[in-house]
């Protein structure tokens, strides 16, 4: 179980951190033509539910990781809507 927790923590860190390069790219280039509106809309909605789930099971790592991901996914979504 100890090994699983380390792998799970690393997995969660990677899938959260992954959104930084996309948010930075969209912010810098102001170009989001190839970025899918559907993807980031559905993903932001899903991550919002992960936060609710984290509150429900009282898991601080789930709440923290998904709150960071939510902010980044919404940033990309807003840049997509603004710059097409």
Contact string 15-34 vs a second copy (x = CB under 8 A): xxxxxxxx-xxx--x-xxxx
* Cα separation, 49 vs 13, whole angstroms: 18
Q: Is 61 in the site for a second copy (CB under 8 A)?
A: no
Look at residues 29, 21, 4, 15 and name the one whose alpha carbon lies nearest to residue 80.
29
Give the CA distances from residue 66 to residues 12, 18, 59, 69, in Å, rounded to whole numbers and listed in that order. 9, 12, 11, 5
Q: Is 77 in the site for a second copy (CB under 8 A)?
A: no
Q: Is 52 in the site for a second copy (CB under 8 A)?
A: yes
Binding residues (CB under 8 A) for a second copy: these are 1, 3-4, 7-8, 10-22, 24-26, 29, 31-43, 45-47, 49-50, 52-53, 56-57
């Amino acid at each position: 179980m100890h090994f699983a927790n380390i792998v799970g923590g690393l997995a969660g860190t990677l899938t959260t951190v992954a959104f930084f390069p996309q948010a930075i790219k969209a912010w810098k280039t102001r170009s989001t033509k190839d970025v899918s509106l559907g993807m980031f809309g559905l993903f932001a909605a899903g991550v919002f539910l992960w936060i609710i789930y984290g509150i429900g099971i009282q898991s601080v790592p789930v709440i923290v990781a998904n709150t960071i991901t939510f902010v980044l996914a919404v940033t990309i979504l807003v840049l997509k809507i603004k710059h097409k």
